[in-house]
Structure 1
Amino acid sequence: MAKKVQKPQKCINVDEARELHDNWCKKRGKRLQKKLGFEDAREFHWSVAELEEYLAYVKQESEEQGIKDPGIRVYLGAYSESKCKMKKGYSTLFFAATGSRPGASGKDGGDPENNYDIPAFNRGGSGNPPFDY
């Protein structure tokens, strides 16, 4: 029988997640929609298998580079209109591997630097219109 995995400490409950999403929609989403002239993407989807595959790749490549504790940084991005299927330039998210090489201390001695030797991860799905949390 497999060992039961404990809930991570950084999990938030449904009410907290809804509050975060509602705040974004009320404080940013309406302004963006007015400025852009369309409802932009605001939620993105990857399967667990896709995420596990990328995380395993980051771990493997980082280990080969001598990075002991790699991480992932999440960035907001936007497609250029010419590369967007709907020709609007929708928002996207992408993941970037992080990890300071031995002897480096990261940005300002704290957060690890981006590892540009490992490709970023993108191309998730998004609801149109977006799904509310």
Structure 2
Amino acid sequence: MMSKPPLNCITVSEARKFHDNWLKTRALYIEKGLGSPDVCEFLFTVDELQQFLDYVKAGTEKHEPGIRIYLAAYGTDKSEKATLFLAPTLGTKAGAENNYNLDPLNKGIQGWPPKKY
């Protein structure tokens, strides 16, 4: 029996629509600017994410921690492609401060060529 999804999950149909909107409204400009397509999806294992969440919970004492996801770019000789990182926060409100005492999570697997949702 499949469990009920968490409250903030969206449907597969909504996810496809959102991703299509991103491709139509952002990916084209990024490709024009870079001269080639960029990555648009990242893969982390469930174990990697769980280890990170456990690390954040253990490293946050006085606040309910949150996770803020930042879009980023390497900008190095190795890669000019996009990346993202997950940054721990000191709270769960929109303006919560980042927890700079803990390291962000990066190093996910970037899909190449990009895989459309």
The answer, yes or no, to whether TM exceeds 0.5 is: yes
Gaps of 5+ in 2: none
For the aligned residue pairs, the C-alpha RMSD in angstroms reads: 1.8
TM-superposed CA distance for 1:81, in Å, is: 2.4
Q: Show structure 1 runs of 4+ deviating over 4 A.
A: none
Could you report, residue by residue, the CA deviation over 1:24-59 in whole angstroms, capped at 9, with x for unpaired residues?
001110111011101101000000000000000000
Q: Residue 44 of structure 2 corresponds to which residue in structure 1?
A: 46
The residue type equivalent to 1:31 in the other structure is Y
Q: Corresponding residue for 1:71?
A: 66
Percent of aligned pairs with the same amino acid: 44
State the TM-score, normalizing by the size of structure 2.
0.91
The residue that corresponds to 2:32 in the other structure is: 34
1:59-108 Cα deviation digits (max 9, x unpaired): 00103xx22x1000000000022242xxxx100010000015xxxxx9xx
Q: Does 1:8 align with 2:3?
A: no
Whole-angstrom CA distance in 2 between matches of 1:58 and 1:5: 26
Matches within 5 A, 1:53-68: 53-63=51-61, 66-67=62-63
Query: Residue 82 of structure 1 aligns to a residue in which SS?
Result: coil
Which residue matches 1:103? none
Corresponding residue SS for 1:51 = helix
Query: Following TM superposition, by how much is the alpha carbon of 1:5 offset from its aligned partner in structure 2, in angstroms?
Result: 5.5
TM normalised by structure 1 equals 0.81
Higher Cα Rg, which structure: 1
Aligned length: 116
Distance 2:97 2:107 in 1: 23
**Match in the other structure for 1:95:** 86
> Aligned partners of 1:83 and 1:71: how far apart in 2?
31
- The verdict on how the C-alpha distance between 1:78 and 1:110 changes in structure 2, with shifts beyond 3 A counting, is closer
Where structure 1 has 5 or more consecutive residues not aligned to the other structure, the ranges are 101-105
